């Protein structure tokens, strides 16, 4: 695989980052993940908008223009002959002798990009549906910033796997926040889609924005509000959204089937429309 590090395209074996990189020492870094279909980027401008927001929130400068980042994304897709999968973009505050205080403005950020092949369209998990567990959301209170501080998400994902499930829905004060790396939704018995409203408690998914537009297009009512675990267990359907999984049905919560325990029609329809819409707008 060819990866990008600070201005260079290199074989992954030759790519290195300093041991003093603040991403490594302090998780002082942010990232974005853009999906690729037919060798084209899905909703790149949405990901760039969120990237700017994450950088602003942490007082980090944009390392280069959006157009330059786009060119690097495309170059990596092309060099790796990536037809379907993901492009990861990671930006840390750079490397300097270890100190909690931020380095001065002369320290350049570390910019890394790499690709990952993934079958997103033909997904076994989408066909089967995910089983999720519920668990405490013990993350920090700025989940709206897409930082690389992913340890709690990693721990709960691991807990889910250990219990024979696929993912964990995190819960704060009795209400579901989101999945380990996706936004969470239910479809109530009257057919309304409910997903948590945007706040510091969740990441504003780029896929979430697009999927809510798809829902409006097919005339499904959407309520952006918090929902409880009990509400989710009594729902007709449940699903999650992310750039890495698009729309993925949830068929069980804590071992209890959601609805009839099979992937639901609303999730399937939204997935179809989302893919169609994204393909048409890919760059």
Closest contact distance (angstroms) between CB of 40 and ligand PMP is 17
Catalytic residue among 118, 146, 161, 213: 146
H/E element holding 259?
Answer: none
* Burial class for 125, CB neighbours closer than 10 Å (0-12, 13-18, 19+): middle
Residues numbered 243-262 forming contacts with ligand PMP, rule: CB under 6 A = 243
Nearer to ligand PMP, 4 or 152 (CB): 152
Distances (CA, A) of 187 to 132, 192, 240, 264, 267: 16, 5, 11, 9, 9
> Quick check: 206 binds ligand PMP (CB under 6 A)?
yes
Reading the block at residue 210, the tokens are 């697009």
Closest contact distance (angstroms) between CB of 97 and ligand PMP is 31
> Quick check: 134 binds ligand PMP (CB under 6 A)?
no
* Burial class for 91, CB neighbours closer than 10 Å (0-12, 13-18, 19+): buried
Reading the block at residue 80, the tokens are 């790796």
Closest contact distance (angstroms) between CB of 13 and ligand PMP is 27
> What residues form DSSP beta bridges with 2?
11
- Among 92, 135, 207, 278, the residue binding ligand PMP under the rule CB under 6 A is 207
Alpha carbons 81 and 91: distance in angstroms, whole number: 24
- Among 80, 130, 135, 242, the residue binding ligand PMP under the rule CB under 6 A is 242
Nearer to ligand PMP, 22 or 146 (CB): 146
Instruction: List all residues 6 or more positions away from 182 whose beta carbon is below 8 Å from its beta carbon.
Output: 167, 205, 240, 241, 242, 244, 245, 248
Nearer to ligand PMP, 2 or 130 (CB): 130
Q: How many residues contact ligand PMP, by CB under 6 A?
A: 13
> End-to-end alpha-carbon separation of the chain, Å?
22
CB-based burial, 46-75: b 16+ in 10 Å, e otherwise: bbbebbeebbeebebeebeeeeebbebbbe
Nearer to ligand PMP, 28 or 178 (CB): 178
> Quick check: 208 binds ligand PMP (CB under 6 A)?
yes
Q: Which stretch binds ligand PMP (CB under 6 A): 21-29, 155-163, 214-222, 237-245?
A: 237-245
> Quick check: 130 binds ligand PMP (CB under 6 A)?
no
> Quick check: 181 binds ligand PMP (CB under 6 A)?
yes
Instruction: List all residues 6 or more positions away from 101 whose beta carbon is below 8 Å from its beta carbon.
Output: none
User: Is 146 in the active site?
Assistant: yes
- Among 23, 85, 205, 259, the residue binding ligand PMP under the rule CB under 6 A is 205
Closest contact distance (angstroms) between CB of 241 and ligand PMP is 6
**Which residues are marked as active site?**
146
Summarize as ranges the residues that interact with ligand PMP (CB under 6 A): 33, 178, 181-183, 203, 205-208, 241-243
């Amino acid at each position: 695989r060819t990866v990008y590090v600070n201005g260079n395209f290199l074989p992954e074996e030759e790519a290195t980052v300093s041991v003093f990189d603040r991403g490594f020492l302090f998780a002082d870094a942010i990232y974005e993940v853009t999906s690729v279909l037919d060798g084209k980027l899905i909703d790149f401008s949405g990901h760039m908008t969120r990237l700017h927001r994450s950088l602003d929130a942490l007082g980090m400068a944009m390392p280069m223009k959006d157009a330059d980042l786009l060119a690097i994304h495309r170059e990596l897709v092309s060099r790796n002959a990536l037809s379907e999968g993901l492009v990861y973009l990671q930006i840390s505050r750079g490397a300097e002798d270890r100190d909690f205080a931020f380095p001065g403005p002369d320290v350049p950020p570390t910019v890394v990009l790499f690709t990952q092949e993934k079958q997103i369209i033909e997904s076994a998990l989408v066909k089967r549906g995910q089983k999720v567990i519920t668990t405490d959301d013990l993350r920090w209170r700025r989940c709206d910033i897409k930082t690389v501080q992913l340890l709690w998400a990693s721990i709960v994902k691991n807990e889910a796997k250990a219990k024979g499930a696929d993912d964990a829905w995190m819960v704060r004060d009795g209400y579901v926040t989101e999945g380990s790396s996706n936004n969470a939704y239910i479809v109530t018995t009257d057919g309304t889609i409910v997903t948590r409203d945007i706040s510091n408690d969740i990441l504003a998914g780029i896929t979430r924005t697009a999927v809510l537009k798809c829902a409006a297009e097919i005339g499904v009512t959407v309520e952006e509000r918090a929902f409880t675990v009990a509400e989710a267990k009594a729902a007709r359907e449940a699903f999650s959204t992310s750039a890495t999984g698009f729309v993925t049905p949830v068929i069980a919560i804590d071992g209890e089937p959601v609805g009839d325990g099979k992937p639901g029609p609303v999730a399937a329809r939204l997935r179809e429309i989302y893919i169609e819409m994204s393909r048409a707008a890919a760059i």
